[in-house]
Structure 1
Amino acid sequence: MTSSPARLRADACPGALQTHSAADGELARVRVPGGLLTAGQLRVLAGAARELGDGALELTSRGNLQLRGLAAGSAAALGDRLATAGLLPSESHERVRNVLASVLTGRSGGHLDVRPWVAAFDAGLRADPALAALPGRFLATLDDGRGDVTGLGGDVGLLALDPGTVALTLAGSDSGLRTTPATAVDLLLAATRALLAERAAQGGTAWRLAELTDGPARVAARLPGPRAAAVPLPPAPATGPVGAVTQRDGRTALVGVLPLGRLTAAQADLLAGLADDVQLTPWRSVVVPDLAEDRVDDAAVDLHRTGVVFDAESAWTRVTACAGRPGCAKSLADVRADAAAAVAAGTVPDGARLHWAGCERRCGRPRGEVLDVVATSEGYRVGRALPQSSAG
């Protein structure tokens, strides 16, 4: 039996309207279910970053976006822009729309296309007033069978086992519950409601399903449906795809890594001019799909000139960092500048994943085996620590 830690404060994850006060101004987090953005939405976000923020967008480990350096009181202006672009369809539910979807789903790999699941689950969340009470750290994962997002710590999730069979996952484990693609979202919504009910039964303070005493088992017990023997689930991959990927239809998708997850307004405008839609990934990269053969090289060159990385061997596929100075008052160092200097100097060990953190909290640390580079009052301390999940 697992124990449930007592949370002494309510979850305070920032949103688009509920901003967080940082050393460099207000921080807003915009939920992007499935990481799916239209070109028009990208242009709106670029304009908001340029005119309201510090000129850039930050990709998070959940495929969401953050704007930094916002002036106090600017949340209403930002909200108006996001609502016009369809990025704020519900003020009451905006912080709980954390949904990860398989990268390149419907275009390359996987048993099925989970994009319809993304839209249906998001709509179902927003249609249920009770689900607005979910913690801001709630996460759903929609995996088309390739196993890329199932291991990323979702509270609830779907994993296609074959084209006709879908498993319900709870806190990263197979619940044993099975469904079909057509009824999968109904089961996922039922599991989300069961999570909320079990959370309330255990005091209503937990931020994640894994924090509840026997959470996965108790949530599963609240749900009807056929069951099968649980199967092992794929672990979280260390990195996502990088470079050119041939789609089923013969066109090409470009997957580029954004160093430290920073997407400038100019880069966002460039991306919006290359494709009708893009997908943000939990590895702080961006997918530009549906490129004709004669456009691939030019698109890659244009993006590379702005700093987008298409080399799967680049250290930038393995280096992450928290905000650091000057954005975070708790940070003891400008960790982003120091991480960039290490990459430029070629001092990142081959094959190692490094996370640079400005303090012991290690915000933004990715899941899995990571080497921590933690700023202290006496310089950096390098060493491994217990994996710590991040929220974004």
Structure 2
Amino acid sequence: MSVLNHAAPSAALSTAALAPRPSACPGLLRIVAARDGGICRIKLPGGALSAAQAAAIAEASERHAASVIEVTNRANLQVRGVRAGHEAALIEALVASGLGPAPATSSMDAAAVWSASAADDIRNVMVSPAAGRDSSALYDTTPLTAGLLGLLQGEARFAALSPKFALLLDGGERLARLDHPHDVWLAATPASDGVRFVFGLAGCPPTVANAVTNAAANAAANATDNAAADATAAHAAGNGSSDAPQDPVATGTRALAAVLPAEVVQLVRALLHTFLDLAAADATRMRHLLATHSVDAVLQRAQTYVDFPLSRDASLADWHRGAPADAALRLGAHPQRVAGTWHVGGQPPLGRLEAATLRGLAALARQHSNGTLRMTPWQSVLLPDIASEAVQAVLAELEGLGLACDPAQPLARLIACAGSTGCVKSLADTKADALRLAARLPDGVDVHLSGCPRSCAAAHCAPYTLLAVAPGTYDLYRRDASPDFGRCIAHRLTLEQAADMLEQLARSPF
């Protein structure tokens, strides 16, 4: 049995952890300026939001901001347009509603605010919005998610992690986002003793569909290293719909080993301490550590923190997730694991909700759901536990609120960053342009509009990307094995020309 290292941080580590974060992202307790006002990001545990909290966010955004709330691509919310001088009042209202990290209270002193802010930064655990309800799932990840969030907030040393450092916990659901690279990913898999979780580093769980292109997708998922590293300027300029500019430029590892569900939290703790033990002071992501240390060296160090084996398992070298994921299940009505219950989902236009819309969703959750909403990493909203007899009424209400409930609808196939109205780095009003493009978007085509190469709105590689080069003018990229957005196939297109070319590509993609 290994001698367990309980990682009592030294004074030096504590000092390092207290250093300012020049690249810090917006948070609940740290509002960051953008062209359209401040951004306040609210991290949600597993994307879950109570109806009461949703109503509180709607009211606070009307009182203290521009009444605009965005769903992010990590299933969180952010309030845009926070007015100068209203920051403290907004934070107080949100904290009083039970949002934010566990230690947060409205009467904290400066040191306590910093501590809570650091805990808020690192609550980055992505799960399926249908966790615990998806009949295809191999394991209900809900308790594990709570354990991981408690771990991240409970150990002071983890405040030294970057706000971008993120975990993926996949229970095998059909409704799952598997193309966002993560620093640590875990995926349920059948085993002789029930279910185990395989894990890997700096990438995505391999799937049959992405077996060939997984590495390219990881590399192309976002902007270049230099652009992503310039997070201070990025946030000062204004953020799109992401939880910080993601910078997953990495090929990642394949599945390394498998652990029992009861060992997942201990495993993650070991890997986080290992990262902090070995990574250089300027390293923010697991891929940076893997650039200087072998996978085996990382596992050997992690082994000192646990009493179960962590050596690489060669039998998992070709492991792939057995079941495909289906993003279309986020929209419309779909049966849950419990007979007679459904989850019903809708897509707000370009991920944005007016305060009145969020208030309407809260009322709908109270009336027909279990009193909760689930935000999704596709910037959509899911209402769980709808009785069969209420499904059609809920769908009608969602559509009445302006949400797209059919994956074939154009607004369900478009994403766009904040654009030039919200971000000084954007070269075009991508939100307005996306709405114009929707009228001509060909069937079956998914498009990402980005105002600059930072790609704040997409942490994955979209099939097509329109990258702004001037107002109303874009270069068109198509996903392939090339890095970043893929291969540029046309330059300086107007929206009309882009729509024409997308129509041609939809008819004859090759």
Common fold by TM > 0.5:
yes
Are 1:211 and 2:285 counterparts? no
Distance across 1 between alignment mates of 2:476 and 2:265: 43
Q: 1:23 is matched by which residue type in structure 2?
A: R
Are 1:191 and 2:252 counterparts? no
Distance across 2 between alignment mates of 1:93 and 1:236: 34
Are 1:57 and 2:62 counterparts? no
Shift of 1:216: 7.3
CA displacement 1:141-169 (0-9 Å, x = unmatched): 11102372444211113211125211122
Are 1:265 and 2:371 counterparts? no
Are 1:159 and 2:159 counterparts? no
* Kept in 2: contact 1:27–1:70 (CA 8 A): yes
* Kept in 2: contact 1:150–1:236 (CA 8 A): no
* Kept in 1: contact 2:68–2:81 (CA 8 A): no
* Kept in 2: contact 1:49–1:57 (CA 8 A): yes
The correspondence for 2:461, drawn from 368, 375, 378, is: 368
Which residue number corresponds to residue 223 of structure 2? none
The correspondence for 1:102, drawn from 128, 131, 137, is: 128
Distance across 2 between alignment mates of 1:183 and 1:362: 36
Question: Per the alignment, in what secondary structure is the counterpart of residue 191 of structure 1?
Answer: helix
> Structure 2 vs 1, CA of residues 48 and 243 (structure 1 numbering), >3 Å: closer, same or farther?
same
CA displacement 1:41-79 (0-9 Å, x = unmatched): 212211222221211210111111111100234332222
* Kept in 1: contact 2:199–2:255 (CA 8 A): yes
> Structure 2 vs 1, CA of residues 198 and 76 (structure 1 numbering), >3 Å: closer, same or farther?
farther
Are 1:113 and 2:125 counterparts? no
* Kept in 2: contact 1:171–1:216 (CA 8 A): no
Question: Per the alignment, in what secondary structure is the counterpart of residue 312 of structure 1?
Answer: coil
* Kept in 1: contact 2:177–2:327 (CA 8 A): no
Q: Counterparts of 1:1-392 in structure 2 under 5 Å?
A: 10-88=22-100, 89-90=102-103, 91=116, 92-108=118-134, 109-146=136-173, 148-162=176-190, 163-172=194-203, 173-199=253-279, 203-212=280-289, 213=291, 217=295, 218-224=297-303, 225-226=309-310, 227-228=312-313, 229-230=315-316, 231-234=318-321, 239-241=327-329, 242-250=331-339, 251-273=341-363, 274=365, 275=369, 276-343=371-438, 345=439, 347-377=440-470, 379-384=473-478, 386=482, 388=484
Distance across 1 between alignment mates of 2:378 and 2:154: 30
Give identity over the alignment, percent: 33
> Structure 2 vs 1, CA of residues 32 and 375 (structure 1 numbering), >3 Å: closer, same or farther?
same
* Kept in 1: contact 2:48–2:372 (CA 8 A): yes
Distance across 1 between alignment mates of 2:180 and 2:428: 28
Which residue number corresponds to residue 228 of structure 2? none
> Structure 2 vs 1, CA of residues 50 and 388 (structure 1 numbering), >3 Å: closer, same or farther?
farther
| More helix per residue | 2
Question: Per the alignment, in what secondary structure is the counterpart of residue 183 of structure 1?
Answer: helix
Question: Per the alignment, in what secondary structure is the counterpart of residue 155 of structure 1?
Answer: strand
- What is the TM-score of this pair, normalised by structure 1? 0.89
Worse-matched range after superposition: 357-366 or 331-340 = 357-366
> Structure 2 vs 1, CA of residues 320 and 105 (structure 1 numbering), >3 Å: closer, same or farther?
same
Extract unaligned runs of 5+ from structure 1.
1-8
Distance across 2 between alignment mates of 1:197 and 1:25: 38
* Kept in 2: contact 1:170–1:216 (CA 8 A): no
* Kept in 2: contact 1:244–1:252 (CA 8 A): yes
* Kept in 1: contact 2:419–2:451 (CA 8 A): yes
* Kept in 2: contact 1:240–1:283 (CA 8 A): no
Distance across 2 between alignment mates of 1:222 and 1:12: 28
Question: Per the alignment, in what secondary structure is the counterpart of residue 468 of structure 2?
Answer: strand
Question: Per the alignment, in what secondary structure is the counterpart of residue 346 of structure 2?
Answer: strand
Q: 2:384 is matched by which residue type in structure 1?
A: P
Distance across 2 between alignment mates of 1:254 and 1:15: 29
Distance across 1 between alignment mates of 2:71 and 2:359: 15
Largest Rg, 1 or 2: 2
* Kept in 2: contact 1:165–1:178 (CA 8 A): yes
Shift of 1:311: 0.6
Distance across 2 between alignment mates of 1:29 and 1:239: 24
Distance across 2 between alignment mates of 1:371 and 1:121: 35
Question: Per the alignment, in what secondary structure is the counterpart of residue 294 of structure 1?
Answer: helix
Which residue number corresponds to residue 3 of structure 1? none
CA displacement 1:354-384 (0-9 Å, x = unmatched): 1112223332224124322122237222223
Instruction: Write out the 4+ residue segments of structure 1 that deviate beyond 4 Å after TM superposition.
Output: 233-238, 385-389
* Kept in 1: contact 2:447–2:462 (CA 8 A): no
Distance across 2 between alignment mates of 1:223 and 1:366: 28
Which residue number corresponds to residue 6 of structure 1? none
Worse-matched range after superposition: 286-295 or 138-147 = 138-147
* Kept in 1: contact 2:255–2:319 (CA 8 A): no
Q: 2:67 is matched by which residue type in structure 1?
A: G
